[in-house]
Structure 1
Amino acid sequence: MSHFTKVKTKIKCLVTLRKALEAMGYSIKEGERHCRGYQGELAECEMVIDTKASYDIGVVKTAEGYELIGDWDMLEVRAGIEQDSFVGELNKKYAYYRIMDEVAKQGYEVVEETEDEQDVVTVRVRRWS
């Protein structure tokens, strides 16, 4: 029997989270506040990530930011979404967009961006005075 499991994250900004999810090919179910799990079980959440399957991933607000909630066993079976790889990619994309937002906010311009074989992204920026 499957069940909902929460995954802690360092996500604090829903706007940046949306950018990261879009970059991964996911969308948000606008207006939806319940995430679907095993046998129609529902979990309340702030935002629902559309997995294109009968199981969802929810975003739950906590005192420290946001957590992800989902029936990860069934998400892997029904949607091909494996928890560790999904969360790992989301954290990477989220960090990238947080940095890019901060770079722009502080008046810097991206001059060069590279990604190596280990998927490490290097960004070179400059600011004209």
Structure 2
Amino acid sequence: MSHFTKVKTVIREREVLCEALRALHHRFREGERLIVNGYQDNTETAEVVVHTGCKYDIGFQRQRDGVYAAVADWNWGIRREAAPRFHQDAFLGEINQKYAHLNVRRQARIHGWPIEEERVLDDGTIEVVVCENI
């Protein structure tokens, strides 16, 4: 019986997802129909697969609506054997924050809007102030 769980994200851009993973120093592969390893040799496929340092992986699968879902054996595999940074809430929180941060910077660059200020608040929130050209 498979223990994989899919968690929907707001991630749409594979390139920005991979940039976020690199920035956070995660080891990963990208491609088509890559194997995501789970509990008792169960597998899923994904376009981006993150190595957790144990025999279980975290994958990102593009859904029909274009949004990526994170797929992993969060409870039986990851939680029991991977480092705490790979546990579902910690991992997805870190990835979503870095993805959003990089996506804001990317959109500003595309539109030619200069970034006036960028800082990390005491609670870990990243604040980016973008100036729209008038």
Provide the TM-score with structure 1 as the length reference. Answer: 0.88
Pick aligned residue for 2:94 from 89, 97, 105: 89
TM superposition shift of 1:102 = 0.2
- Count of matched residue positions in the alignment of Structure 1 and Structure 2: 129
Partner SS, residue 10 of structure 1: coil
**1:52-72 deviation per Cα after TM superposition (whole angstroms, max 9, x unaligned):** 221000111112211010011
| 2:50 is aligned with 1:78 | no
Partner SS, residue 53 of structure 1: coil
Amino acid of the structure 2 residue aligned with 1:67: A
TM superposition shift of 1:29 = 2.0
Amino acid of the structure 2 residue aligned with 1:88: G
**1:1-46 deviation per Cα after TM superposition (whole angstroms, max 9, x unaligned):** 8711111111110001011111222132244711000121111222
| 2:4 is aligned with 1:4 | yes
For the residues of structure 2 that align with 1:6 and 1:125, how far apart are their CA atoms? 34
Question: Which runs of 5 or more residues in structure 2 are unaligned?
Answer: none
**1:70-89 deviation per Cα after TM superposition (whole angstroms, max 9, x unaligned):** 01121122112210111111
Question: Which runs of 5 or more residues in structure 1 are unaligned?
Answer: none
For the residues of structure 1 that align with 2:105 and 2:50, how far apart are their CA atoms? 23
Cross-structure match for 1:66: 68
Cross-structure match for 1:27: 27
Residue pair 2:2, 2:42 contacting (<8 A) in 1 also: no
- Identity between Structure 1 and Structure 2 (%): 34
For the residues of structure 2 that align with 1:51 and 1:19, how far apart are their CA atoms? 17
Cross-structure match for 1:16: 16
Greater than 4 Å deviation, 4+ residue runs = none
TM superposition shift of 1:126 = 3.7
For the residues of structure 2 that align with 1:46 and 1:126, how far apart are their CA atoms? 35
For the residues of structure 2 that align with 1:21 and 1:108, how far apart are their CA atoms? 25
RMSD: 2.0
